[in-house]
Amino acid sequence: MLLDVDGPLNPFAGSAETRVGFVEHRIRLSRWNKRKVLRLWLNPALGPALLGLAERTGAQLAWATTWGHRANTVIGPAICLPVLRVVELDDSGGRWKFPAVERFAAGRPLVWLDGDFDFYPAERDAFLGRRVGVPTELWRVDPRVGLNTDDVATVEAWLGGHSNVGTAK
């Protein structure tokens, strides 16, 4: 199960009314101007919910985010996730994350939580076409709302219907 940060775990496009359960965090990242503060909204209940889902279904969690390894040092601790594997994104010539995810998933069952699939419809469709016969779910999370309990329950039901999900490397 692949996790993106911005959108699913950080509903950056939301408002106080739509970010129910999310807590504001202010961080400085060294790659930016040291005076610039980045605001994130993270829900501390999501880490345990995702870990529980993974335990119940045999899925393995990994990051598929432009945050890269920083997701393990900034995001994970804030929502009680352990260090996770990271999909190594590269310059994919405008094909977004799909080439890196395709290499990472390598024919294994996949559920991927992200908010940006609709921005790359041709690449999304080509990616899905190459995964015919391999259980694959691209779960779009609204970046105004973020991942919620309904999303987690639906993803868990999908994973429960694919008994070989726990065989991932």
Report the alpha-carbon distance of residue 61 to residue 53 in Å, rounded. Answer: 10
Domains of the chain plus CATH, in order, are: 2-167 (3.40.50)
Segment 64-71 shows an average pLDDT of 95
Does the pTM exceed 0.75?
Answer: yes
pLDDT-derived band at 169, boundaries 50, 70, 90 = very low
Asked if residue 164 has pLDDT above 80, the reply is no
Mean pLDDT is highest, among 15-24, 92-101, 136-145, for 136-145
